[in-house]
Chain A
């Protein structure tokens, strides 16, 4: 297996034309996958993104934070702009993997791995982030929810990479909440996770609710029915319970080594009830 570490996008696109080329971001998922299929990838070329400056950097323009795809979870957590403007995202990144994984894994990699349990994804869905895709032909943008098509499946075309996340700052939203349930507190793959953004009027009535759940279906799930049930209501147990029931109806979890589908369905609703004590 060859490994190339281009330092410019031009070099990257040239390297991606080699037969068997695959993009290597932080390697925390890809290298584990490749090892489990040892011997079957002799003719592959891994093309690493880690030395390409154009894929780094965090900037803000008109309320949208642009995060270079090769930024690691740790570097986003340390970034003042990200911490102050995207507290929902940084709350989730603080619980992703462990310290070394956060130093290696990247936000672009988390999106392209497209795991239903990717910890950055529920916040990115709730924030209605877009992805920027780059190829020799230029740039295109699409919603994260359209980019991710299923477990491990994205809209990336051959020769194309995810170059940045474009994340709108949730202006006016007064509640930014992320909670992940795992088997332990560090290095846990989410059993269920919830990202919630709530915007309320001065009397505490919900003007807009955005709820995104991880690990309860093939992709992260937004639940418009539950969101609508909260609109116009205050966040009390009485108003949250019907919305929690709607979440439980909407999810399509599976049984796996970490939890049963029934447990995930129950917890998916329970996580929403937490808003009663946060509000």
Chain B
């Protein structure tokens, strides 16, 4: 089937198998490597993407479900030349160790900051509660999200 959706601000029109999983479509067909497949069953959050601004799991979505939607991954927030405040804060706070969970963490945090400019520490912990990190112990990740929120609030 033909699907049309916006990926990281770019209009896409693809001919795909309707049951191709979104995480496979993104990674293998489109070389968007931020979303990772960890558990493949909705327990780790590594495949997190934003769909129309909502945090979802791309391992539990099918290509057909992307039709007409707007999809955002960590790549869509910024890149090496123009990193997003979340990217910068993750680097500055040592919130990245092996890095496997980081794009999902950043996306989950971006979903929260899109709705709430001044989240509490508890709200950040809650919004990241479905994203597993086996390296950091989470404290630095939560610190980074709160720091990025401060930077974003300071912007005109």
Residues of B within 8 Å of A27, CB to CB, are: 60-62, 65
Q: How far is the CA of A84 from the CA of B2 in the complex (A)?
A: 43
Which secondary structure characterizes the binding site on chain A?
A: mixed
Q: In the complex, what's the smallest C-beta–C-beta distance from A60 to chain B, in angstroms?
A: 25
Using a CB-CB cutoff of 8 Å, which residues 230-257 of chain A contact chain B?
none
Q: In the complex, what's the smallest C-beta–C-beta distance from B45 to chain A, in angstroms?
A: 6
- Given known pairs A5-B67, A27-B60, the reply for A100 and B19 (CB within 8 Å) is no
Q: How far is the CA of A20 from the CA of B67 in the complex (A)?
A: 23
Q: Does A28 contact B (CB under 8 A)?
A: yes
Q: In the complex, what's the smallest C-beta–C-beta distance from A149 to chain B, in angstroms?
A: 26
Residues of A within 8 A of B (CB): 1-5, 27-28, 31-32, 35, 46, 48, 50, 74, 97-101, 103-104, 185-187
Q: How far is the CA of A236 from the CA of B85 in the complex (A)?
A: 53
Residues of B within 8 Å of A28, CB to CB, are: 42, 57, 60
Residues of B within 8 Å of A185, CB to CB, are: 129
- B18's closest neighbor in chain A, by CB? A3
Q: Does B43 contact A (CB under 8 A)?
A: yes
Using a CB-CB cutoff of 8 Å, which residues 37-53 of chain B contact chain A?
40-43, 45, 48
Q: Interface digits, B7-47 against A, CB 8 Å rule (1 contact, 0 not)?
A: 00000000000110100000000000000000011110100
- B1's closest neighbor in chain A, by CB? A3
The listed residue (B40, B55, B63) touching A100 by CB distance below 8 A is B55
Residues of A within 8 Å of B19, CB to CB, are: 1-3, 46
Q: Are B60 and A32 in contact (CB under 8 A)?
A: yes
The listed residue (B40, B54, B67, B108) touching A35 by CB distance below 8 A is B40
Q: Does B84 contact A (CB under 8 A)?
A: no
Q: Does B126 contact A (CB under 8 A)?
A: yes
- Given known pairs A32-B42, A104-B56, the reply for A97 and B62 (CB within 8 Å) is no
Q: How far is the CA of A98 from the CA of B47 in the complex (A)?
A: 14
Further pairs besides A31-B61, A100-B42: 20, Cβ < 8 Å: A1-B19, A3-B1, A3-B18, A5-B65, A5-B67, A27-B60, A27-B65, A28-B42, A31-B60, A32-B40, A32-B60, A48-B64, A98-B129, A98-B130, A98-B131, A99-B108, A99-B130, A100-B45, A101-B42, A103-B56
Q: Does B127 contact A (CB under 8 A)?
A: yes
Residues of A within 8 Å of B1, CB to CB, are: 3
- B58's closest neighbor in chain A, by CB? A100
- B61's closest neighbor in chain A, by CB? A27
Q: How far is the CA of A24 from the CA of B73 in the complex (A)?
A: 25
- Which 4 residue pairs spanning A and B have beta carbons closest together? A98-B130, A186-B129, A3-B18, A3-B64
Q: Are A5 and B64 in contact (CB under 8 A)?
A: yes
Residues of B within 8 Å of A4, CB to CB, are: 64
Q: Are B60 and A99 in contact (CB under 8 A)?
A: no
The listed residue (A2, A3, A100) touching B130 by CB distance below 8 A is A100
Q: Which of A32, A50, A100 has the most C-beta atoms of chain B within 10 angstroms of its own C-beta?
A: A100
Q: Are A103 and B18 in contact (CB under 8 A)?
A: no
Residues of B within 8 Å of A3, CB to CB, are: 1, 18-19, 62-65
10 A-B contact pairs sorted by A residue (CB < 8 Å): A1-B18, A3-B64, A32-B40, A46-B62, A50-B65, A101-B130, A103-B54, A103-B55, A104-B60, A187-B43
